[in-house]
Amino acid sequence: MIVPGASERDVIGESGAVREMDGGAGGRPADTTTLRQHFTVEYDFPVAFTRDLFATGNPLLRDTLARLEPAKRHRFVVVVDTGVLEARPGLDARIAAYAEAHVESLELLGDPVPMPGGEAIKSQLHFVERMQRVVVDHHVDRHSYLIGVGGGALLDAVGLVAATSHRGLRHVRVPTTVLAQNDSGVGVKNGVNLFGQKNWVGTFAPPFAVLNDYDFIVHLPERDRIAGMAEAVKVALIRDADFFLWLERHANRLRAFEPDAMRHMIQRCAELHMHQIGHGGDPFERGSARPLDYGHWAAHRLETLTSYHLRHGEAVAIGIALDTRYSVLRGLLDEGEEERVCRLLERLGFRLWHPALEIRGAGGELEVLRGLVDFREHLGGELTITLLEGVGTGVEVHEIDTGLVGRSIEWLRTRAEAA
């Protein structure tokens, strides 16, 4: 079929694919034909905020699983973070009771499966294989659900299993930490660690739904509640000056974990992450920029250097402070703004120094600088780092002056020693 006005290199074949015809020009043989496939896939998933998700009177989970096929009975498997089970005794029984109360719509396939949270589940691949075995044993198919209940690390691993089993199961995330509810849980990435690198094995696969239950936050240890707030500071710095002002005004309430302040912080942070992913033009990171990873090039390396004794959010807070000071030294950000950012992070409960920043390799180079190499290799393309031009305004740069990084580290150490 020839489209009126089309050139010989732009012809629509009977299949609908574009066929490029070449008469031998440009050095290609005259008998060469290239078909170019093109299609668009639309993604849409709800991110809900609720209380007491597994109360039998709360219809959210049932309605979420039934949103595409309301009349069907939906099969699902649940994987639960063992840390969550310890903090919420009887949670597995409540999940089973929820399925029984909605038996006309839901079929729970076996008891909820306990799995370790934190970096353990991401750094030991046998946990992934164990979850895959559960999928096989229960004959979970592409129209069934794999539900992960836990922190960001567990959700990353469960998401990888869901994305790769049968080339894709329906995955529902139930984040139970501040960090997972306001950041990683609403994203489109899954992965586990390998070869000493974070998220080396992974996929881009949006979840079927994200169900945030504020009640899980109440049971978190203080350290984890603090750690998750680093991502709120990060996204405010690069995208929303008004939100940064709100964080400054309400820092004391957040540090005291007042419920209303925590809920607002989590939801606004999640909204900003969702907007960047959905409207930033590169949800699957095909390009070279990752604005949502402001402060992360150093943070990821610090996690590795400390054998993950630093929480992700704690390392991100240090990375934010480092890159904000660097932005000042580069002449991008006004002098004094780095102190403002550091004061906010410290009011929220973060310590902005760790001796791992000064670990040096055999050649005398700062080990944390390896994070720049890892960052570029993980994404590909040219090195692209987000810095600050102002509070609420990020800017991409493609070169980092390692001497200025060293001076930024010295500045952080001096601040810590003076405290």
pLDDT on residue 63: 97
| H/E element, 106 | strand 106-108
For 145-173, the pLDDT digits (tens) are 999 999 999 999 999 999 999 999 999 99
16 pLDDT higher than 80: no
136 and 175 Cβ atoms separated by less than 8 Å: no
324 and 237 Cβ atoms separated by less than 8 Å: yes
Backbone angles phi, psi at 353, to 5 degrees: -150, 140
CATH of the domain at 391: 1.20.1090.10
For 198-235, the pLDDT digits (tens) are 888 999 999 999 999 999 999 999 999 999 999 999 99
State CA 63 to chain mean position distance: 25
DSSP helix, strand, coil percent of the chain (3-state; round to 5): 45, 15, 35
The total number of residues written for the chain in this structure:
419
Stronger pLDDT, 197 or 256, i.e. the higher one: 256
pLDDT on residue 119: 84
Residue 327: pLDDT band by 50, 70, 90 thresholds? very high
10 pLDDT higher than 80: no
Examine the domain organization and report whether 215 and 229 are in the same domain: no
Examine the domain organization and report whether 32 and 123 are in the same domain: no
Position 115, amino acid: M
Examine the domain organization and report whether 1 and 76 are in the same domain: no
Surface-to-core class of residue 30, CB atoms within 10 Å of its CB (0-12 exposed, 13-18 middle, 19+ buried): exposed
Task: Point out the domain boundary residue: 220, 248, 264.
Answer: 220
Examine the domain organization and report whether 243 and 281 are in the same domain: yes
For 271-289, the pLDDT digits (tens) are 999 998 888 888 887 876 7
List Cβ neighbours of 333 (8 Å cut-off, separation of 6 or more): 324, 327, 387, 388, 389, 390
Examine the domain organization and report whether 107 and 67 are in the same domain: yes
Examine the domain organization and report whether 163 and 248 are in the same domain: no
372 pLDDT higher than 80: yes
Domain count, the chain: 3
Examine the domain organization and report whether 296 and 194 are in the same domain: no
Task: Point out the domain boundary residue: 195, 220, 245.
Answer: 220
369 and 360 Cβ atoms separated by less than 8 Å: no
Domain of 363 in residue numbering reads as 223-418
7 pLDDT higher than 90: no
> Is the backbone of residue 379 left (phi > 0), alpha (psi -120 to 50) or beta?
alpha
Tokens of 303: 């996690």
Examine the domain organization and report whether 306 and 408 are in the same domain: yes
Examine the domain organization and report whether 186 and 260 are in the same domain: no
CATH of the domain at 61: 3.40.50.1970
DSSP sequence for 284-314:
T--SS--GGGTTHHHHHHHHHHTTT-S-HHH
